Amino acid sequence: MSHLTPEQLTKLRQDIKFSTTLAGFPMQFITTWGIFSPRAVDEGSEMLLNNIQVNPDDNILDLGCGYGPLGLTLAKMAPQGQTLMVDKDFVAVDYANRNIALNKLTNCSAQLSNGFDQIREHQFDLIVSNIPAKVGNEMLWLFLHDAYQQLSPSGRLVVVTISGLSKFIKREFKQNFGNYNKLKQGKTYTVAQAIKTQSQ
């Protein structure tokens, strides 16, 4: 049996709440155990947000949104566009929608989707993802192929990965998109961008 007291267990079941500033915007989040980085926004997401160019009217997809730090902040950066957040985890989607309401965003929504499976009819100007370290090459190949298909002409794909994946990402971006641009390299994470060009 658990060595925790009933009071400690009750406390663990309660929502985690924190406030932070992302890309200059004050943000509030409700999270829970079992979602990625529940007590604070992870370093990779912050690095992506600090090194991305966003147009005010971009239509954006946050793939694998978790509780929503990327998508919510991007929705604030693109107030004339629409931001869609998707995750295959129903708990993450639930918290992402709660955080949309908490941050009073009207140009943002979250829904369940395993990759692009449930959102094939959408086109995006910008797709972002904080790619998990152990996602596997097969999932990445599907993701990059599908991302290319669902970007509008001149659309951008921006990802943050652990730096150990950066050579793989560079090779696959060049293979799928014909280009690769490293936006930021840190000790732990790398932010990279590919653009859907007409010549591809």
Task: Provide the token pair at 80.
Answer: 């004339």
Domain count of the fold of the chain: 1
**pLDDT-based confidence at 73, cuts 50/70/90?**
very high
What integer pLDDT is reported at residue 134 of this predicted model? 82
In a domain, 77, yes or no: yes
In a domain, 182, yes or no: yes
CATH code: domain of residue 74? 3.40.50.150
pLDDT at 196 over 90: yes
Do the beta carbons of residue 2 and residue 10 sit within 8 Å? no
| Mean pLDDT along residues 63-75 | 98
pLDDT at 144 over 90: yes
For the chain, the residue count is: 200
Cβ-proximal residues to 135 (8 Å cutoff; 6+ apart), any chain: none
pLDDT in tens, 44-55: 999 999 999 999
Question: Looking at 8-17, 62-71, 169-178, 191-200, which range is the least confident one?
Answer: 191-200
pLDDT at 143 over 60: yes
pLDDT in tens, 150-189: 999 999 999 999 988 999 999 999 999 999 999 999 999 9
In a domain, 161, yes or no: yes
Tokens 């955080």 belong to residue: 99
In a domain, 165, yes or no: yes
β-pair partners for 17: 30
With H, G, I as helix, E, B as strand and everything else as coil, classify residue 9.
helix
pLDDT > 70: percent of the chain: 98
Do the beta carbons of residue 160 and residue 179 sit within 8 Å? no
What type of residue sits at position 113? S
What integer pLDDT is reported at residue 136 of this predicted model? 82
pLDDT at 200 over 80: no
DSSP H or E segment with residue 92:
helix 90-102
In a domain, 34, yes or no: no
Q: E strands of the chain, at which residues?
A: 16-22, 25-31, 60-63, 83-87, 108-112, 124-130, 151-162, 181-185, 189-195
pTM of the complete model = 0.95
Do the beta carbons of residue 102 and residue 134 sit within 8 Å? no
In a domain, 187, yes or no: yes
What type of residue sits at position 166? S
β-pair partners for 124: 151
CA distances, 46 to each of 74, 98, 195 (Å):
12, 21, 21
Range of the domain at 191: 41-195
| Mean pLDDT along residues 110-126 | 96
In a domain, 188, yes or no: yes
What integer pLDDT is reported at residue 1 of this predicted model? 59
Distance CA 26, CA 143 (A): 31
More confident residue, 46 or 198: 46
**pLDDT-based confidence at 3, cuts 50/70/90?**
confident
In a domain, 168, yes or no: yes
